[in-house]
Amino acid sequence: MPVYNTGKYMYAAVNSILTQSLRDIELVLVDDGSTDGTSEKSDVYSQKDSRVVVIHQKNAGISNARNAGIDVAKGEYIAFCDHDDMFLPGLLENAYSVACQTESDVVKFSREQIWLKDEKVIREAKYIYVDGVYSEQEIKENFFLLVESRTLTAIWDGIYKRKLLLDNEIHFDEAYKYGGEDVDFTMKLLKHTNKLTVLSTIYYRHYKRIGFSSSTKFDVVRISNTTRFFQTILSTINSLEINIEECRMDFTLLLLRQYLSHMFVLYANPKYQITYMDRIKNLEALYNADFIPAWFYKHKTCTILRKSKKMGLLYFLLKYKMYGCLLLSSLIYLKKEKRI
> Could you report the per-residue pLDDT of 281-294, keeping only the tens digit for each?
999 999 999 989 99
3-state SS class at 198: strand
| Predicted local confidence at residue 8, as pLDDT | 86
Q: Are residues 58 and 142 in the same domain?
A: yes
3-state SS class at 241: coil
- Least confident piece of the model among 147-151, 164-168, 297-301: 147-151
Model confidence at 11: pLDDT above 90: yes
Mean residue pLDDT across the chain? 93
Q: Are residues 157 and 254 in the same domain?
A: no
In this prediction, residues 168-189 reach a mean pLDDT of 90
Whether 237 is in a domain gets the answer no
- Domain total for the chain? 2
Alpha helices (H) in 150-296, listed in sequence order:
162-167, 181-190, 221-239, 248-255, 261-268, 276-287
More confident residue, 201 or 210: 201
Model confidence at 110: pLDDT above 80: yes
| Predicted local confidence at residue 213, as pLDDT | 53
Of the residues 199, 215, 231, the one at which a domain ends: 215
CA-to-CA distance for 96 and 105, rounded, in angstroms? 11
Range of the domain at 27: 2-215
3-state SS class at 172: coil
Model confidence at 139: pLDDT above 60: yes
Q: Are residues 202 and 259 in the same domain?
A: no
Whether 236 is in a domain gets the answer no
In this prediction, residues 228-235 reach a mean pLDDT of 92
In this prediction, residues 79-104 reach a mean pLDDT of 97
- Least confident piece of the model among 51-55, 68-72, 122-126, 218-222: 218-222
| Predicted local confidence at residue 328, as pLDDT | 96
Q: Are residues 207 and 332 in the same domain?
A: no
Q: Are residues 150 and 263 in the same domain?
A: no
* pTM for this predicted structure: 0.90
- Least confident piece of the model among 111-125, 145-159, 303-317, 325-339: 325-339
CA-to-CA distance for 60 and 80, rounded, in angstroms? 18
Per the CB < 8 A criterion, the answer to whether 210 and 338 are in contact is yes
The pLDDT-based confidence of 211 (bands split at 50, 70, 90) is: low
Q: Can you give the CATH number for the domain in which 12 is found?
A: 3.90.550.10
Model confidence at 97: pLDDT above 80: yes
Whether 227 is in a domain gets the answer no
More confident residue, 336 or 217: 336
Contacts of 160 (CB under 8 A, 6+ apart): 77, 78, 79, 105, 106, 189
| Predicted local confidence at residue 33, as pLDDT | 95
